[in-house]
Chains A and B, each alone.
Chain A
Amino acid sequence: MRLPRRPPRPGDDLHSLAAPYALDALDHAERDRYEHHLAACAECAAEVRTLAEDTVRLARSTAVPAPAALRARVLAAVRTAPQEPAAPREPASSREPAARRRARRLPRTGAARARRDRFRPSGPWLLLVPFATTTAAAALVVAALFAAEAHRTREELDAARDRAREIAHVLAAPDARAAGGADETGGVLGVVASASEGRAVVTLGGYGRPPGDRVHQLWLVRPGAPPHSLGLFDGDAPLLASGLEPGPASLAVTVEPGGGSSRPTGTPLVQVALESVGFGG
């Protein structure tokens, strides 16, 4: 089972890096150089392939069951996270329908969804999942909301994909924290925020659409300053709020006339203090 080894030649130092490469024991610069070499050396590629399967054995012997929360988080994130296109050299036109088909396939069919984990959505909102200081629950909420948006034009889809990327970025921030505010009627304002990024992903649920052409508007409320609009909710889609600064402040939602207002005209339906998501002092 020994691999045939090339006889050493002077100056072919790179060949001797197959094992260190397979073990990830090269620094970045050396790894890049070796990979460059690998692309032109079929012999080395075969060698690395075999050695990589050896490291798989080393890796598998460390296997332990992954925490359940990890599964929930990863599978939720996968529902919003974009994928690299299947074939980069393919013309864009032939890629688009696949992506659109994919989007339209959401939400999952009943049978497929029933197989999913215990955080099964009951309607568009995941109120079964308590908000905690972990991003997992919030990611699920955001994912469920995304899944609800099924039929979209190509432009909308592109915009949604960009937004999904931004949202995934906030959710993945090391300091991302989640909080929720609820009113007596069961309406909920969900917030996942990263203080270091100054951004928050905000979702609103349980309120339905406001009557007529009225809209739900999100505000940043700071002591001693007029409320600042962070945008309008579009159905169940999450809002991405940027430019948030540390300090006492809260997010609030009001019902406003179509197109939104420059100052809130209604009383807040629900509020969340940014302090609860790491924007203290």
Chain B
Amino acid sequence: MDADELLTLVARGDRAAFEALYALVSGPVYGLALRVVRDPAQAEEVAQEALLELWSSAARFDPARGSALAWTLTLAHRRAVDRVRSARAAGERDRREARRSHHPAFDQVVEEVEAGLERDEVRRCLDRLTALQRQSVTLAYYDGYTYREVAERLSVPLGTVKTRMRDGLDRLRACLVGAV
């Protein structure tokens, strides 16, 4: 059964379906949370919240609006992003980042564990984007910056950032699907 079918069963309170769905999505959910919040304990909290929301809000899933995986990862990503944004607002993340620069071990571990075909493909295709496209996409998606913040950080106009995000995603898709 695929994630879409499982999520439909979960919406009816099927716990066995939830377990099966958990097996499919927990890796991407946790990995994404870890990538964005960059702290294993917080990533676990974010993943837990998102996965419980997946259970409690399953009835809100509408297959017409996208895949179950996309919906699930959106739940997780929004929570992760909310968390880094409020941490950033409180100045915590900068301190944590400063601390981490003395302890590079964590990033190394992540790099090693993350090794995988799909990651390699995405990385290869990200490398094919222009620097501005790539930074616009990754600063937003992996680092949780708003497009306004991305524009500020990259010192480019807002319109440019929006366009680069769009071009970046288009090119990424072309590369991954069309194997350019």
| Chain A residues packing against B (C-beta within 8 Å) | 1-3, 16-20, 22-27, 45, 48-67, 69-71, 73-75, 77-79, 81-88, 98-99, 102, 108, 112, 172, 174
Contact = CB atoms under 8 A, between A and B. Distances in A.
Contact of A19 (B19, B48, B74, B169): B169
Interface residues of B, number: 76
B114 A53 contact: no
Contact of A98 (B12, B19, B58, B163): B12
Interface string B111-129: 0011010110111000000
Given A62-B31, A79-B15, A84-B60, A23 B137 contact: yes
B93 interface: no
B176 A63 contact: no
B47 interface: yes
A64 B70 CA distance: 17
28 contacts: A16-B159, A16-B166, A18-B166, A20-B146, A23-B147, A23-B169, A24-B144, A25-B165, A53-B70, A55-B169, A57-B118, A57-B122, A59-B77, A61-B114, A62-B28, A62-B119, A63-B28, A63-B30, A63-B118, A64-B27, A64-B31, A65-B27, A66-B27, A66-B29, A83-B11, A83-B55, A85-B59, A102-B13
Contact of A66 (B13, B18, B30, B176): B30
Contact of A59 (B28, B123, B161): B28
Interface in B24-48: 26-32, 34-35, 40, 44-45, 47-48
Given A27-B146, A58-B122, A172-B52, 15 more contacts: A19-B169, A24-B77, A55-B74, A56-B67, A58-B137, A58-B142, A59-B73, A61-B118, A62-B28, A63-B30, A64-B30, A66-B44, A78-B52, A86-B12, A99-B13
Main secondary structure of the interface of B (DSSP, over half): helix
Contact of B118 (A17, A60, A102): A60
A66 B140 contact: no
Given A23-B140, A24-B77, A25-B146, A56 B70 contact: yes
B56 A66 contact: no
Contact of B81 (A24, A60, A71): A24
Closest 10 CB pairs of A and B: A61-B122, A66-B30, A25-B140, A19-B166, A19-B165, A62-B31, A63-B27, A63-B31, A66-B26, A23-B140
Contacts of A58: 122, 137, 141-142, 172
A45 B65 contact: yes
